[in-house]
Amino acid sequence: MKAFMDQNFLLQTETAQKLYHESAKHLPIIDYHCHLNPREVAEDHRFRSITELWLGGDHYKWRALRTNGVDERYITGDASDWEKFQKWAETVPYCMRNPIYHWTHLELRTAFGIQKLLNPETAREIYDECNEKLQQPGFSARGLMQHYNVEVVCTTDDPADTLEYHRQTRESGFVVKMLPTWRPDKAMAIEDPVAYRQYVESLSESANTEIRTYDDLLLALQTRHDYFASLGCRLSDHGLTEFYADDFTYNEIETIFSKVMDGHTPDSVELGKFRSALLLEFGRQDARAGWTQQYHYGPIRNNNSKMMRLLGPDTGYDSIGTVDTAASMARFLDKLCAEDNLAQTILYCINPSDNEMLATMIGNFQEGPVPGKIQFGSGWWFNDQKDGMERQMNALSLLGLLSRFVGMLTDSRSFLSYPRHEYFRRTLCNMLGNDVENGELPVEEMPRISRMVQDICYYNAKNYFRF
């Protein structure tokens, strides 16, 4: 019987162990998509407790707590930090076989050196030990990033954001490179005219240009796109329910924009046309700038209307959608490709039933000289766990080139999520190690397989994004 979470955790063969410990373990982390708060990095935030660091904003844990029958007061409410942590400790034993159980103990071990299992009996001891260590210099926001050997992080930022904290961090000389990522979802959100007009006003202010027409909107967005580029931005990101590739005319889009700004609620046809037009413009902007565009598609968001009113978005009430968007995705990519405006692209699906579709879709638009120009992104959201990562990599292996994969990211708001990279690396090494041990890959090619591991874990991303 193997010990729980020993040095060979998830590594089932000697070859897997060799690959991880010699080729993957010590590589720096490039976290090219996350939701860290840039202010906390700029100000080197110190956390008042493990509760703030661990449970604040973590909707994965919030969903587990709710499922375990914990009252909302102990999740997002006014309970004390200790009370919230206590409820989490009571919940953790019920998380066995959920990836949260692994992440919890991996984070305790790698960040705090705590080998104990978290449960009601150990809760107070672990709480006190973590809080004591959080007072030490190396446990600030920046300290944790350095502890985990982070080289680059790319945050997720709205076009109207000032990016003042990115500038502040860069000017401070911090060794970890923090770059913004262009996330223009709100510029497409015309379904609520009141909120959209408010957003346009904030965009107008940040771009220092009046927005009255659709052309004005495009000019303001380009101005901000250029500003993002000046601070080192290399990526865009788009959160979509589905892809949009409807036919439209310029006059139609101009009319739709004017009507929305006048308070008109668009119908489904108008929504589709406007989103299609802007999505194309964003793709063209990225191509001109030499950026990589990312598309995260498929979730159904804010399903619980009562809790949406109480807590707002991103609080744990989203789920996997089943939308069929393959045809519209192909049309969208083809339109950009036909006009030579298809930038480097990463496609992420939240529904694993789309794995094979995406693994074949990317092959339609590959072209030199960039290896793996179109990427099937890592297991995302509900899929960033062992089974989800294996399914994504198996699909990519069978239908594309796993060797050109740009690897893992955290997609997290937490400074303790970097062990997800370790989790991924162990899973990757285990897959390849098993293939060697089973005679499915030649042992004579171990130097190449070792290099493949290094590439997927670090070098492919570094070269692809030109970090």
Q: Please report whether residue 145 resides in a domain.
A: no
Q: Under 8 Å CB-to-CB from 466, ≥6 apart: which residues?
A: 234
Q: Please report whether residue 146 resides in a domain.
A: no
User: Does residue 56 sit in the same domain as residue 37?
Assistant: no
Go through the chain and tell me how many residues it has.
Answer: 467
**What's the CATH number where 77 sits?**
1.10.2020.10
User: Does residue 199 sit in the same domain as residue 221?
Assistant: yes
pTM of the model: 0.97
User: Does residue 330 sit in the same domain as residue 458?
Assistant: yes
User: Does residue 131 sit in the same domain as residue 167?
Assistant: no
Q: Please report whether residue 144 resides in a domain.
A: no
User: Does residue 334 sit in the same domain as residue 247?
Assistant: yes
User: Does residue 135 sit in the same domain as residue 173?
Assistant: no
Domain that holds residue 27: 14-46+151-465
Q: How many domains does the chain have?
A: 2
Question: What does the angle CA 322 – CA 327 – CA 328 come to, to the nearest 5 degrees?
Answer: 85
User: Does residue 226 sit in the same domain as residue 343?
Assistant: yes
Phi, psi of 31 (to 5 degrees): -105, 85
Give the pLDDT of residue 442: 98
Give the pLDDT of residue 439: 98
Contact status, residue 154 vs residue 218, Cβ threshold 8 Å: no
**Partners of 237 in the beta sheet?**
294
User: Does residue 129 sit in the same domain as residue 39?
Assistant: no
Q: Please report whether residue 399 resides in a domain.
A: yes
User: Does residue 291 sit in the same domain as residue 421?
Assistant: yes
Q: Please report whether residue 310 resides in a domain.
A: yes
Q: What tokens were used for 172?
A: 């401070």
Q: Please report whether residue 9 resides in a domain.
A: no
User: Does residue 349 sit in the same domain as residue 385?
Assistant: yes
Q: Please report whether residue 7 resides in a domain.
A: no
Question: Using one digit for the tens of pLDDT, what is the confidence trace for 146-194?
Answer: 999 999 999 999 999 999 999 999 999 999 999 999 999 999 999 999 9
User: Does residue 31 sit in the same domain as residue 79?
Assistant: no
Contact status, residue 178 vs residue 153, Cβ threshold 8 Å: yes
Of the three residues 139, 169, 204, the one that is the final residue of a domain is: 139
Question: Using one digit for the tens of pLDDT, what is the confidence trace for 290-309?
Answer: 999 999 999 999 999 999 99
First to last CA, the chain: 43
Contact status, residue 221 vs residue 187, Cβ threshold 8 Å: yes
Closest CA to 55 of 70, 39, 41: 70
User: Does residue 109 sit in the same domain as residue 157?
Assistant: no
Give the pLDDT of residue 252: 98
Give the pLDDT of residue 172: 97
Of the three residues 85, 116, 139, the one that is the final residue of a domain is: 139
Q: Please report whether residue 370 resides in a domain.
A: yes
**What's the CATH number where 196 sits?**
3.20.20.140
Ordered strands of the 150-154 beta sheet: 29-31, 150-154, 177-179
For the chain, residues with pLDDT lower than 50 are: none
Of the three residues 139, 162, 183, the one that is the final residue of a domain is: 139
